[in-house]
């Protein structure tokens, strides 16, 4: 067995000031995670109500439940670096979710689409945005050397990635009914 | 601005400058408090070395370090790899400098991925770099800040690493370049990062070869729907080879080792067929040794029980400029033991068994000087030159450690590596020199010992061995994750030397 360390060890970017500065910067990103996730959750919840087709309605309702859990996970991120979330950003996210619905209506009108397809299309984009925000948080966890961040967000990214495949399928499958037939579902 | 793809894929140099580095010092309880949660303990007492030697940690908090060198005045240079293993997240590509006064600074470069080695020579740092479609060897003048690209056209952009540069007693520069493909054919390989960044990268042979046309069938993850493609040897992913097709050998190839004048001119190909020549060392007699890593037991061209190996490149004895035919060490068709990849002893227990790719393989230049347990991941290495340290003439090798269960399903592979060994290159035997009390990475069992040794280098006087520990890479059956600020530089000395 070796002798114990005697001399002071040089620490690279592990001093108190550097760490706290980087935590502050990570916190501002985590606020973005919360904002994009609140927006996505709001949009999914509203879209469920607009869809009549039973299978899609069921899958999206399950997704809405997951989105609430993801939002709770986003709030948990802050404690891992000793910070508090910004409630203003969360509120902004919900407003942004409503705004995306309006944007979807505009795109649908301009692109000759009818029914809830435009909402589904916005959910597809919003989930992608939110998934990306969580994925960046994961990278920040790796860069800061904090496994708890990675452990928290990895399952969220995995669920969102699975949802993204499902949303892509629905958006591509149902576009013809919405654009060519001008029918809802 | 270039107007064709080939021009766009060339390296164009990069900015590099000395920058401030945020550092502090700590000891005892304060040290443990400052360490990141991914590596919460650091304790030299948990490291095992032979009786009569002492270990101490010199630096901690390094991010994905790749190599270390020490100048004659005692200044320590540690390269941090930028994007390394795995490629996410990118941390600043730089060289951390610790002067004998204790003062620190960084030499930071705006390049992706980043430096894979650092070699001090006459006031200049020589570095090999990964990133883009071609690896680079550059030198940086520590006084003037001038950067010169010495070697710039070696095909890269895939899985394996550059080797060297090192300088022999003959004053020549020796360097290597690993294969693009992991398993002999460009495949998704579980990580789509190489395909995402360099979809047109491929292996290039060092001699003319005729292909068997045994293509490998796989899914193309770049396509929006499940999409099956065939890929041949020495082809970009998704491009099949034809039976009897001849691929021309090139001076600018990969899985290869060269030498040149120190300014990069008069490049001479010494050997190819070396999958990953990341570690290179030359003994006092000028004999060149190169470490090489084994095939993996997974995926669409799976190969089992391939030993890690150290090749003795006897061809380097030939006078400079006289090598007409390079030596061939087996990649992509032979394992480290010289047996073909489809031999019954190398049939995989998971994945698709490999088929041969070369119809007319060159003569094999083996056997290896030393064979090691599969997936030990032998990396950089150095010869002991001093009786003061001991084991003079033996080769010290850093073993990064296995990626099992990701790259092998075999329980016996789970603790291979994670240590420094000393190899008697004449006898082909080795002994562990530095390891944890329990084999494996320290964080796997709550110890403050070593994680993944990536490089080891003796001080210029030969009295101290510096071991660079890459830090924490967590591996599961499905993925791997690297945590920054977990790298450590260790120093090993003889106790008698310490006492004066």
Burial A67-84, CB ≥16 within 10 A → b, else e: beebbebbbebbebbebe
- Return the structure tokens found at B89: 């997240």
User: Quick one: pLDDT at residue A90?
Assistant: 72
Looking at the predicted structure, is the pLDDT value of residue B68 above 80? Answer: yes
Contact of B465 with chain A, judged by CB distance below 8 Å, is answered with no
Residue B23, strand partner residues:
A12
Give the rounded distance of the alpha carbon of B350 from its chain centre.
26
Cβ atoms of residues B335 and B346 within 8 Å? yes
Contact of A1 with chain B, judged by CB distance below 8 Å, is answered with yes
Domains and CATH numbers, chain B: 11-498 (2.120.10.30)
Question: Each residue of B444-464: pLDDT tens digit?
Answer: 999 999 999 999 999 999 999
User: Quick one: pLDDT at residue A32?
Assistant: 95
Closest chain A residue to B448, measured at CA: A4
Domain-embedded: residue A102: yes
Looking at the predicted structure, is the pLDDT value of residue B190 above 60? Answer: no
Domain-embedded: residue A1: no
- Per-residue confidence at B327, pLDDT binned at 50, 70, 90? very high
User: Quick one: pLDDT at residue A113?
Assistant: 76
In chain A, what percentage of residues exceed pLDDT 90? Answer: 79
Contact of A82 with chain B, judged by CB distance below 8 Å, is answered with no
By three-state DSSP, how is residue B165 classified? strand
Q: For residues B257-273, give the mean pLDDT.
A: 98
Contact of B37 with chain A, judged by CB distance below 8 Å, is answered with yes
Spatial neighbors of B404 by CB under 8 A, at least 6 apart, are B375, B410, B413, B414, B416, B475
Domain-embedded: residue A14: no
Complex ipTM value: 0.95
Domain-embedded: residue A13: no
Kindly give the residue spans of alpha helices, DSSP state H, lying in B316-392: none
Cβ atoms of residues B259 and B270 within 8 Å? yes
Domain-embedded: residue A35: yes
For residue A31, what are the domain limits?
A: 25-179
By three-state DSSP, how is residue B372 classified? strand
What residues in B contact A146, CB-CB < 8 Å? 36-38
Which of B70-84, B128-142, B222-236, B410-424 bottoms out in mean pLDDT, i.e. has the lowest? Answer: B222-236
| Minimum-distance CB partner of A5 among B43, B48, B91 | B43
User: Quick one: pLDDT at residue B253?
Assistant: 98
Please answer yes or no on whether A8 and B88 come within 8 Å at the CB atom.
Answer: no
CA-based nearest residue to B454, from B406, B490, B493, B494: B490
Question: Each residue of B14-64: pLDDT tens digit?
Answer: 999 999 999 999 998 999 999 999 999 999 999 999 999 999 999 999 999
Question: Each residue of A103-141: pLDDT tens digit?
Answer: 777 776 677 777 799 999 999 999 999 999 999 999 999
Looking at the predicted structure, is the pLDDT value of residue B500 above 50? Answer: no
Which of A85-94, B155-164, B420-429, B430-439 bottoms out in mean pLDDT, i.e. has the lowest? Answer: A85-94
User: Quick one: pLDDT at residue B191?
Assistant: 59
CA distance from start to end of chain B:
61
User: Quick one: pLDDT at residue A109?
Assistant: 67
What residues in A contact B85, CB-CB < 8 Å? none
Number of other residues whose CB lies within 10 A of the CB of residue B3: 6
Looking at the predicted structure, is the pLDDT value of residue A102 above 90? Answer: no
Distance CA B69, CA B281 (A): 13
User: Quick one: pLDDT at residue B9?
Assistant: 76
CA-based nearest residue to B302, from B369, B243, B347: B347
Domain-embedded: residue A148: yes
Distance CA B36, CA B181 (A): 34
Distance CA B30, CA B44 (A): 16
| Minimum-distance CB partner of B56 among A7, A139, A142 | A7
Contact of A144 with chain B, judged by CB distance below 8 Å, is answered with yes
The domain spanning residue A114 has which CATH number?
A: 1.20.1260.10
- Per-residue confidence at B223, pLDDT binned at 50, 70, 90? confident
Interface list for B 50-69 with A (CB within 8 A): 53-63
Question: Each residue of B418-433: pLDDT tens digit?
Answer: 999 999 999 999 999 9
Domain-embedded: residue A18: no
Domain count, chain A: 1
In chain B, what percentage of residues exceed pLDDT 90? Answer: 91
Please answer yes or no on whether B89 and A139 come within 8 Å at the CB atom.
Answer: yes
């Amino acid at each position: 067995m070796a002798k114990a360390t005697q001399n002071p060890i040089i620490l690279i970017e592990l001093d108190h000031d550097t760490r706290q500065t980087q935590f502050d910067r990570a916190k501002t990103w985590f606020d973005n995670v919360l904002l994009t996730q609140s927006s996505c959750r709001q949009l999914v919840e509203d879209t469920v109500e607009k869809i009549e087709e039973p299978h899609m309605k069921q899958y999206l309702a399950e997704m809405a439940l997951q989105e609430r859990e993801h939002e709770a996970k986003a709030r948990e991120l802050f404690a891992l670096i000793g910070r508090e979330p910004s409630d203003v950003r969360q509120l902004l996210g919900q407003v942004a979710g409503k705004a995306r619905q309006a944007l979807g209506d505009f795109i649908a009108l301009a692109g000759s689409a009818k029914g809830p397809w435009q909402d589904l299309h916005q959910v597809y984009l919003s989930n992608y945005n939110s998934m990306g925000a969580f994925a960046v948080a994961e990278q920040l966890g790796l860069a800061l050397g904090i496994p708890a961040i990675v452990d928290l967000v990895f399952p969220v990214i995995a669920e969102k990635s699975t949802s993204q495949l499902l949303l892509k399928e629905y958006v591509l499958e149902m576009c013809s009914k919405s654009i060519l037939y001008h029918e809802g579902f | 601005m270039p107007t064709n793809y080939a021009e766009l894929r060339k390296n164009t140099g990069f900015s590099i400058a000395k920058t401030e580095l945020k550092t502090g010092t700590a000891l005892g309880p304060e040290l443990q408090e400052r360490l990141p949660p991914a590596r919460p303990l650091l304790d030299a007492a948990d490291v095992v070395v032979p009786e009569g030697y002492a270990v101490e940690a010199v630096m901690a908090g390094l991010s994905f370090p790749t190599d270390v060198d020490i100048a004659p005045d005692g200044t320590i240079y540690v390269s941090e790899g930028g994007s390394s293993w795995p490629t996410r997240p990118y941390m600043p590509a730089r060289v951390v400098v610790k002067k004998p006064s204790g003062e620190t600074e960084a030499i930071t470069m705006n390049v992706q991925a980043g430096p894979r080695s650092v070699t001090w020579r006459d006031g200049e740092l020589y570095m090999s770099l990964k990133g883009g479609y071609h690896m680079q060897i550059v030198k940086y003048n520590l006084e003037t800040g001038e950067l010169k690209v010495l070697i710039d056209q070696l095909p890269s952009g895939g899985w394996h690493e550059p080797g060297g540069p090192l300088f022999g007693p003959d004053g020549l520069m020796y360097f290597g370049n690993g294969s693009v493909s992991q398993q002999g054919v460009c495949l998704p390989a579980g990580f789509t990062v190489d395909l995402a960044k360099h979809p047109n990268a491929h292996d290039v042979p060092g001699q003319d070869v005729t292909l068997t046309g045994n293509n490998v069938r796989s899914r193309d993850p770049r396509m929006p729907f499940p999409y099956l493609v065939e890929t041949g040897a020495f082809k970009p992913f998704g491009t099949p080879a034809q039976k009897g097709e001849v691929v021309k050998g090139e001076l600018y190839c990969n899985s290869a080792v060269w030498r040149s004048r120190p300014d990069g001119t008069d490049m001479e190909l010494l050997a190819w067929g070396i999958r990953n020549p990341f570690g290179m060392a030359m003994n006092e007699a000028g004999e060149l040794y190169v470490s090489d890593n084994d095939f993996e037991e997974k995926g669409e061209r799976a190969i089992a029980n391939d030993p890690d190996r150290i090749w003795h490149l006897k061809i380097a004895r030939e006078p400079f400029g006289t090598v007409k035919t390079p030596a061939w060490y087996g990649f992509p068709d032979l394992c480290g033991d010289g047996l073909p990849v489809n031999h019954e002893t190398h049939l995989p227990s998971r994945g698709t068994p490999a088929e041969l790719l070369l119809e007319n393989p060159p003569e094999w230049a083996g056997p290896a000087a030393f064979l090691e347990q599969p997936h030990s991941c032998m990396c950089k290495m150095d010869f002991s030159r001093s009786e003061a340290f001991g084991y003079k003439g033996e080769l010290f090798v850093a073993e990064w450690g296995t990626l099992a269960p990701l790259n092998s399903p075999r329980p016996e592979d789970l603790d291979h590596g994670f240590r420094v060994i000393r190899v008697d290159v004449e006898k082909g035997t080795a002994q562990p020199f530095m390891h944890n009390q329990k084999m494996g990475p320290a964080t796997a069992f709550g110890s403050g010992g070593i994680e993944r040794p990536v490089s080891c280098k003796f001080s210029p006087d030969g009295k101290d061995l510096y071991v660079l520990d890459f830090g924490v890479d967590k591996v599961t059956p499905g993925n791997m994750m690297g945590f920054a600020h977990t790298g450590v530089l260790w120093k090993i000395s003889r106790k008698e030397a310490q006492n004066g």
